[in-house]
């Protein structure tokens, strides 16, 4: 599961559940002309 936590809001903002699969550290790849913090 990947969790997005808002430090300013102090709450969970969203998550992605991958079922029974395991992975390593999540990587964020920004979109070239990014227009917001989470644009990727």
pLDDT of residue 23: 77
Mean pLDDT of 21-31: 82
Q: 39 near 30, Cβ under 8 Å?
A: yes
Q: Binning pLDDT at 50, 70 and 90, where does residue 12 land?
A: very high
Compute the distance between CA of residue 38 and CA of residue 24 in angstroms, rounded to an integer.
20
Q: How many helices (H) and strands (E) does the chain have?
A: 0, 2
Q: Which positions ≥6 away from 5 have C-beta within 8 Å?
A: 11, 12, 13
Which value, in Å, is the radius of gyration of the alpha carbons in the chain?
A: 12
Compute the distance between CA of residue 14 and CA of residue 36 in angstroms, rounded to an integer.
16
């Amino acid at each position: 599961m990947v969790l997005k936590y808002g430090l300013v809001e102090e709450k969970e903002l969203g998550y992605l559940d991958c079922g029974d699969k395991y992975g390593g550290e999540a990587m964020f790849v920004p979109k070239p002309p990014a227009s917001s913090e989470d644009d990727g």
